[in-house]
Amino acid sequence: MKQTNSMTRQNRKLWIIVNYLSIILVLGFFYIGKYYDLPTLALIGGAVSLILLIFSFVKVFIKTQLWKLAHTSDKNLDERQLQVILSSLRYSYSAFTIITLAIIYGFAVAGQGPIDVVVAACLLYFAHTLPAAIVGWKEKII
């Protein structure tokens, strides 16, 4: 599977960071708006953060074909690609489990109750992009 729009590993790392920071911004604006009763700030800040999230997703996951690589059937991968994907899935499963448990228990300890739907949506996005992000972060040539 050859990539059509190459990007250096350093640039991929930068865009992966931008992508995940935009998730944090979405959550930050959501909670600032919720707890300080600032719906306009939450809406505008969240919208700008969401646009940045979508732009960085397209830039780092779609244009480099990381998304396609991480979501391709194993029958369509060569031996090297298969090993790379299996390794990224192992790392992403471990990281996602730890992060998710920390968030859930953090909410419980802070007395915030169950997680909000926005956090759940961000975790779902994180779960689906993390394997591709790990490949993009670690591999010199995809």
Mean pLDDT per 10-residue run, the chain (142 residues)? Answer: 68 97 97 93 96 97 93 90 94 96 92 88 96 93 68
Q: Distance between alpha carbon 11 and the CA centroid of its chain, in Å?
A: 16
> How far is residue 52's CA from residue 75's CA, in Å, rounded to a whole number?
34
| CA distances from residue 4 to 1, 8, 65, 81 in whole angstroms, order as listed | 9, 13, 8, 16
What is the model's pLDDT at position 5? 59
| CA distances from residue 15 to 25, 56, 84 in whole angstroms, order as listed | 15, 6, 20
What is the model's pLDDT at position 6? 78
> How far is residue 92's CA from residue 1's CA, in Å, rounded to a whole number?
21
81 in Cβ contact with 1 (< 8 Å): yes
**Which residue bears the tokens 């350093």?**
10
What is the model's pLDDT at position 30? 95
pTM: 0.88
27 in Cβ contact with 49 (< 8 Å): no
